[in-house]
Amino acid sequence: MIQVSPAAAKRIQELKKEEGKDLPLRIKVKRGGCSGFSYKLDFDNQVQDKDKTFESNGVQIIVDEKSLLYVLGMTLDFEGGLNGQGFVFINPNATKTCGCGSSFSV
pLDDT tens column, 4-20: 999 999 999 999 999 98
Cα–Cα distances (Å) from 88 to 20, 23, 46, 49, 93, in that order, read 24, 21, 25, 28, 14
* pLDDT at residue 33 in the model: 60
Examine the pLDDT at 82 and tell me if it is beyond 70: no
β-bridge partners, 81:
84
Question: What is the average per-residue pLDDT within 30-48?
Answer: 83
- Whats the size of the chain, residue-wise? 106
pLDDT, tens only, 42-67? 999 899 999 999 999 999 999 999 99
CA count, 13 A, side-chain hemisphere, 72: 7
Secondary structure letter of residue 36 according to DSSP: S
Q: Which residue has the higher pLDDT, 103 or 29?
A: 29
* Residue 36 pLDDT level (bands cut at 50, 70, 90): confident
Of 27, 20, 33, 38, which is closest to residue 73 (Cα–Cα)? 27
pLDDT, tens only, 83-103? 668 898 898 887 766 555 555
Q: All domains of the chain, ordered by start, with CATH?
A: 3-100 (2.60.300.12)
CA dihedral 50, 22, 27, 9 (to 10 degrees): -130
* pLDDT at residue 106 in the model: 55
* pLDDT at residue 95 in the model: 72
CA count, 13 A, side-chain hemisphere, 31: 0
